[in-house]
Amino acid sequence: MPAAQRRELILDAATGVFGDRGYHGTTTDQIAKAAGISQPYVVRLFGTKEKLFLDVLDRALQTMLVAFRAALADDGSGYPLQKRLGETFVDLVSSKGVHRTLLQAFVSGGDAEIGRFARAGFLDVFRFLRDEAGFTDVEVDEFLAQGMLFSVLLSLELPRTFGTDPDGDALMRAVFGAKCAMVLDVMGPGAS
Amino acid sequence: MPAAQRRELILDAATGVFGDRGYHGTTTDQIAKAAGISQPYVVRLFGTKEKLFLDVLDRALQTMLVAFRAALADDGSGYPLQKRLGETFVDLVSSKGVHRTLLQAFVSGGDAEIGRFARAGFLDVFRFLRDEAGFTDVEVDEFLAQGMLFSVLLSLELPRTFGTDPDGDALMRAVFGAKCAMVLDVMGPGAS
DNA sequence: TCAGGTTGTAATCGGATGATTACCTAGACC
DNA sequence: GGTCTAGGTAATCATCCGATTACAACCTGA
């Protein structure tokens, strides 16, 4: 298999594992096994574990921004932009690990290198909302807040425990609303 | 020094370090140095690093809930409960590391033991808002969302980089609003 | 066919780190 | 004074993990 294609496979696998366990919590061997190759090959293709994480982070951000820009361009549906971008964000659960990996990066602000990239990435999203989507300060605040709560609940693995605690179910419904079923389909108890 | 008092010192120090670097990213030796004692003593007082983290997590949650209940009882000010609890939450920045440690726990849902405690803790907060504060579903959602965004920006260390990027400053002002100066005082570039 | 590049692995190394052990010191109590 | 307990450390162990090395298999073109 050509190296470029192998890299994509590894980035996919790494997005999942890093999202699960965070930067320090995942080993290059876990990523290698998830990608079906050997551990030394992972580090040879990316240099270091840190560079791999930064590549994964960059890819996750691009995935999100590309989806946002597509939603912005397709303004057919008629209902508010904030709603449309919100749904676009939620729909990203199908790109497994993107939300959770981004959040793992965002909580790594204390790390010098990862922190710089994470802050820059967050600001990219901010600028998109303000400058391209035309959001007001309040709209930006509300949108980011909902996005962060959504991501935290995913990282908490609350969807996976759905049905085991009535309060957990109530919280899920309060936050995810109409999208609850869709989230449970991808991240629920039975999901891979 | 009596062991009970020493434990509190260690829990204080650990709250800061865990908040900075996450569970897997911090070493027991870093905590020991922050507390001014030797590494073996840290693990002897708490058994394992995981038990120490769970103690830190529990303590951070109690700190928050105690502050919330105090704000709930003191209903003198006359303006809305949501606002008052929001300010209480923001004011917790003075208890250094509480927000960031909680968020570090919340993104560790993939870890079996820590995940269970983190989910239980989040649900404790949810129940407080719903049952004690009497919030509606929408109020709960908005409150938690603002809280998570606030915590993420702290973990990103955006306050520490204030003044280095106009967009970062704009984002800070959009999210923190009137509390911006207070946050910068505790978490800003010049803070410890 | 054979030289060279590409894809990939097995073996291993060295440093970091959580945990354990063995020990030390200072008071408290008799 | 002697012993017992509590508070604390130095030294060390065992394991994990990222990285390196050396090498194997397989194309591909001259």
Reported as a single tens digit per residue, the pLDDT across A115-148 is 999 999 999 999 999 999 999 999 999 999 999 9
Please give the tally of structural domains in chain A: 1
pLDDT(A76) > 80: no
Containing domain of residue A126, as a range? 50-155
Chain B closest CA to A106's CA: distance in Å? 5
Does the CB of A1 sit below 7 A from strand C? Answer: yes
Mean pLDDT for chain A overall: 96
Which residues in chain B touch residue A130, judged by CB atoms under 8 angstroms apart?
170
Rounded average pLDDT per 10-residue block, chain B, 192 residues: 95 98 98 98 98 98 98 84 95 96 98 98 98 97 98 98 97 95 93 81
Q: Is residue A162 part of a domain?
A: no
Q: Is residue A41 part of a domain?
A: no
Reported as a single tens digit per residue, the pLDDT across A23-51 is 999 999 999 999 999 999 999 999 999 99
Q: Is residue A161 part of a domain?
A: no
Q: Is residue A180 part of a domain?
A: no
Rounded Cα distance between B139 and A67, Å, is 29
Scan residues 4-43 of A and list those with Cβ closer than 8 Å to B.
20-25
Rounded Cα distance between B162 and B168, Å, is 7
Q: Is residue B24 part of a domain?
A: no
Token pair 């008092």 is at which residue?
Answer: B5
Q: Is residue B5 part of a domain?
A: no
C1'-nearest nucleotide to the CA of B41 = D8
Confidence of residue A173 (pLDDT cuts 50, 70, 90): very high
| Average pLDDT value for residue range A48-66 | 98
Confidence of residue A108 (pLDDT cuts 50, 70, 90): very high
Q: With 0-12 CB in 10 A as exposed, 13-18 as middle and 19+ as buried, what is B94? A: exposed
Which residues in chain B touch residue A100, judged by CB atoms under 8 angstroms apart?
107
Q: Is residue B44 part of a domain?
A: no
Which residues in chain A touch residue B106, judged by CB atoms under 8 angstroms apart?
152, 155-156
Q: What are phi and psi of A104, to 5 degrees?
A: -60, -40
Residues 16-75/A with CB within 7 Å of nucleic chain C are 37-41, 44
Estimate in Å the CA B42 to C1' D3 gap, whole number. 28
CB A105 within 8 A of CB A118: yes
Amino acid identity for residue A166 in this structure: P
Reported as a single tens digit per residue, the pLDDT across B74-101 is 877 678 999 999 999 999 999 999 999 9
Token pair 């449309």 is at which residue?
Answer: A84
pLDDT(A79) > 90: no
Q: Is residue A69 part of a domain?
A: yes
Q: Do B149 and A152 touch (CB under 8 A)?
A: no
* Residue B67: predicted pLDDT: 98
Rounded Cα distance between A125 and A121, Å, is 7
Amino acid identity for residue A84 in this structure: R
Confidence of residue A190 (pLDDT cuts 50, 70, 90): confident
Name the nearest CA neighbour of A130 among B162, B179, B174. Answer: B174
Per-state percent for chain B, helix, strand, coil, to nearest 5: 80, 0, 20
CB B175 within 8 A of CB A141: yes
